[in-house]
Amino acid sequence: SFHMFVPMAPDRQQLGRHTWTLLHTQSVYYPEKPTDEEKQDMNTFLHVLAKVYPCKVCGADLQYLLEQYPPQLDSRNDFAYYMCVIHNKVNQQLNKPSFDCSLDSIYKRWRRDYTDDRHDIQEPNLDE
Ligand code: FAD
């Protein structure tokens, strides 16, 4: 009826928010001790995402950032911090406020099982 919610096709901002959700979520659930293959796959994912991203200027920007700042994929903490720093580079270009990249703030924002006094993993992934 008239009052039903009509979903709108995403614009650049909404696509951006959802893409950041995917990227940060991938980083905070990344293995603590990734195998070489897991590191390679994530590195490939990031580079391919930058190439195929439907906002062309955004993708080009990400490609440039990946070259300037090679992905840090040796551990979950490394990758979570790296993704935060990259997002802040984009925030800066868009005159948006910087996010606090302490691991506490990152995990608090992006992990469902985060508590202040307990950093160990309750949900190893988002399958449940
Ligand atoms: P977003 O930047 O989308 O952030 C979403 C949420 O993430 C925030 O509300 C906050 O809770 C959290 N957050 C913010 N910063 C960080 C951080 N550093 N670490 C962890 N969490 C954080 N838009 C353009 O107009 N031009 C571009 O060139 C452009 N390039 C982009 C490149 C990429 C790779 C991506 C993914 C997006 C790009 N965008 C670009 C979109 C832009 O970054 C925003 O997504 C969009 O403007 C919506 O912004 P927002 O204020 O809702 O918050």
The domain of 51 spans 21-110
* Domain membership flag for residue 106: yes
CATH code of the domain in which 85 resides = 1.20.120.310
Q: Is the pTM of this model over 0.90?
A: yes
**How confident is the model over 48-54, as a mean pLDDT?**
98
The pLDDT tens digits of the residues spanning 70-117 come to 999 999 999 999 999 999 999 999 999 999 999 999 999 999 888 765
* Domain membership flag for residue 102: yes
Q: Give the number of the atom of ligand 1 that is nearest the alpha carbon of residue 16.
A: 45
Comparison of pLDDT for 17 and 8, the residue scoring more: 17
* Domain membership flag for residue 4: no
Pocket of ligand 1 (CB under 6 A): 12-13, 16-17, 19-20, 24, 57-58, 61-62, 84, 87-88, 90-91, 94, 96, 99, 106, 109
**In this structure, what token pair is assigned to residue 122?**
């309750």
- Number of domains the chain is built from: 1
Q: Give the number of the atom of ligand 1 that is nearest the alpha carbon of residue 90.
A: 43
The vertex-85 CA angle with 80 and 90, nearest 5°, equals 125
